[in-house]
Copies of this chain bind each other. A is one copy, B any other.
Amino acid sequence: MSKSQHNIPTPAVRRLSLYLRQLDAILANDQKTVSSRQLGESLGMTDAQVRKDLAHFGQFGHPGIGYRVDELIARIRCILGTDRPWNILLVGAGNLGRALASYRGFAHKGFHLVAVFDSDPGIVAQTIRGDTPLVVQPMSEMARIVKKMDARLAVMAVPADAAQEVADQIRAAGVQGILNFAPIAIQPNDCAIASVDLTVHLEQLTFQIAGGDTA
A-side residues, CB < 8 A to B, are: 1-2, 4-5, 8-11, 13-14, 16-18, 20-21, 25, 44-45, 57-58, 75, 78-82, 84, 86, 88, 94-96, 98-100, 102-106, 108-109, 111, 152-153, 155, 160, 176-179, 183, 185, 192, 194-215
In-complex Cβ contact of A202 among B21, B79, B194 (8 A): B194
Contact B209 A153 (CB under 8 A): yes
- CB-defined contacts of A201 to chain B, threshold 8 Å: 179, 194-196
| Chain B residue with Cβ nearest A105 | B183
In-complex Cβ contact of A209 among B11, B98, B192 (8 A): B192
- CB-defined contacts of A44 to chain B, threshold 8 Å: 9-10
Contact A200 B103 (CB under 8 A): no
How far, in angstroms, from A202 to B14 measured CA to CA in the complex?
10
In-complex Cβ contact of A198 among B16, B25, B196, B199 (8 A): B196
Contact B105 A197 (CB under 8 A): yes
How far, in angstroms, from A197 to B100 measured CA to CA in the complex?
12
Other than A14-B204, A95-B98, A153-B205, give 16 A-B pairs with Cβ distance below 8 A.
Answer: A1-B212, A4-B213, A11-B45, A16-B203, A17-B200, A21-B197, A78-B211, A79-B212, A81-B207, A99-B99, A108-B199, A109-B199, A153-B206, A177-B209, A179-B201, A194-B204
Contact A214 B78 (CB under 8 A): yes
Once A18-B200, A105-B197, A198-B106 are accepted as A-B contacts, the answer to whether A2 and B205 lie under 8 Å apart by CB is no
Once A14-B204, A44-B10, A99-B95 are accepted as A-B contacts, the answer to whether A209 and B176 lie under 8 Å apart by CB is yes
- CB-defined contacts of A16 to chain B, threshold 8 Å: 203, 207
Q: Which 3 A-B pairs have the closest CB atoms?
A: A5-B212, A81-B211, A177-B205
